[in-house]
């Protein structure tokens, strides 16, 4: 799959003419891949909960999507406005919180 177009500053990706905040490029590859995997699992869980008409499960899955997207830097304080330690803390906290959701 080809990389999406980025804005010149690298802060956003452009998909079908719409800007979306880019993932923080400073997240190491392994945690970034894990966060993306957890994000996609949560998105699948939203679909399954919706089909099952399970509002509580859907809310939980949506909360996990939010945690993953925040940890990736796609929501919350823009990653380019954070210090290196704040950025590391953001994605580590997100992984910890998502791990806690799985237990």
Predicted model pTM: 0.90
Residue 49 φ then ψ, to 5°: -65, -40
pLDDT digits over 47-97, tens only?
A: 999 999 999 999 999 999 999 999 999 999 999 999 999 999 999 999 999
pLDDT digits over 3-15, tens only?
A: 889 999 999 999 9
């Amino acid at each position: 799959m080809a990389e999406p177009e980025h804005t010149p500053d690298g802060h956003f990706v452009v998909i079908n003419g719409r800007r979306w905040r880019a993932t923080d490029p400073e997240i190491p590859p392994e945690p970034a891949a894990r966060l993306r995997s957890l994000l996609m699992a949560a998105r699948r869980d939203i679909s399954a909960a919706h089909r099952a008409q399970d509002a509580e499960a859907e809310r939980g899955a949506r909360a996990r999507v939010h945690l993953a997207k925040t940890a990736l830097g796609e929501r919350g304080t823009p990653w380019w406005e954070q210090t290196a330690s704040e950025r590391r803390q953001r994605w580590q906290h997100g992984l910890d919180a998502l791990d806690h959701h799985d237990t």
